[in-house]
Amino acid sequence: MRNYILKRVLMFIPTVFLLSIVVFFIIQLPPGDYVTSYVSRMSAEGEVFTSQDIANLREQYGLDKPWYIQYFKWMKNIITKGDFGYSFSYSRPVWSVIMDRLPLTVVITLIIMIFTYLVSVPIGLYSALHQYSVGDFIFTSIGFLGLATPNFLLAIILMFASFKLTGDPLIGLFSEEILREGLKLSNFGIFLKHLIIPVIVIGTGNTCGVIRTVRAQMLDEVTKQYVLTARAKGVSEKTIVYKYCLRAALNPVVSGLAGSLSSLFSGSTISAIVMNMAILGPVLYEALKSQDMYLAGTILLTKGFLVVVGTLLSDIILAWLDPRIRYAERSN
């Protein structure tokens, strides 16, 4: 197991390096740059720019060099100084902009992930063990509705329902009281109340998907020969279900950890905008619109880093869940 983890960790560094090249190259593909967007906005407001003014702006922002030179300078500053560049839109260092939203984003991500797996795995297990029962039909219907309903539409519906029932649409993560006094233990309950709709909205899609996956995998596992053999030998049904079937059924769920970690990190961007959530999703959207390349590139690199971390964690958990993976690695 130690050698297996070591190999995965050694693959981590070159993967992140290649990912950084791809990210920086892709954000350079759209025509124009931040200066182009800035000049367009200012021109619409009546400002006049000469060709020399535009050239001076590009030189000032370091956009007059080829993309690969800009990339190597960016990476050199990251590695040697921990400097992720300067946000043109915010007129601040990129990392300070990200840190304004990062702690809250991480908290929401962890809460939504806990919600997703605590809800989806038991429901998927119940649906598989009670196939075609009333409960199975109800959870299946809810799952299809959750997958089919756009997150931003569900957010609007829930906020409208909250306003009609309580007079508070629960927009944003903080009430006026929290914004005025700061987050304290006394008003922590208000913060949790404002988390209800974001957790339901962003977590619903992943929750419904995991329910379907667990149900399908469990239905496949309970019909296999080793289950029939275990029953014939008198092994208890509880042991068969929880020690063997569920452990094998969780493999695809664990494999999807990497993607869910990255997607939840930035949240559903449109839903976050609708719910006025101060997380990184809307910041990335605005950075891409204004072609603020260092800010967009750092957020995308962070998301990619999380995908790699999630993949590493899922590989380790899979090796722990399924000994065949460890044995196959040892034989290689």
| 153-171 pLDDT tens trace | 888 888 899 888 888 888 7
State yes or no: pLDDT of 323 exceeds 70. Answer: no
Amino acid at 97: V
Residue range 220-241, pLDDT digits in tens:
988 888 888 988 888 898 898 8
pLDDT tens for 12-58 read 788 888 888 888 888 877 777 788 888 887 888 787 888 888 888 88
Side chain identity at 55, as an amino acid letter? Answer: A
- Write down the pLDDT at residue 22: 87
Q: What is the mean pLDDT of the chain?
A: 81
Share above pLDDT 90 across residues of the chain, in percent, rounded to a whole number: 2
Burial of 33 (0-12, 13-18, 19+ CB in 10 A): buried
169-183 average pLDDT score: 66
Distance, in Å, from the CA atom of 108 to the CA atom of 101, rounded to the nearest integer, reads 11
Residue 71 has pLDDT above 80, yes or no: yes
Domains of the chain are 2-83 (no CATH), 101-290 (1.10.3720.10)
- Place 266 in a pLDDT band, splitting at 50, 70 and 90: low
What mean pLDDT is predicted for residues 201-224? 85
* Residues 116-133 pLDDT 10s: 888 888 999 999 988 889
d(CA 246, CA 223): 13
Q: What is the pLDDT of residue 101?
A: 83
Tokens 């068969």 belong to residue: 240
Q: 153 with 197: CB under 8 angstroms?
A: no
Q: Helix or strand or coil: residue 92?
A: strand
pLDDT score for 197: 86
Q: Which pTM was predicted?
A: 0.75
Residue 183 is predicted with a pLDDT of 63
So what's the pLDDT on residue 327?
54
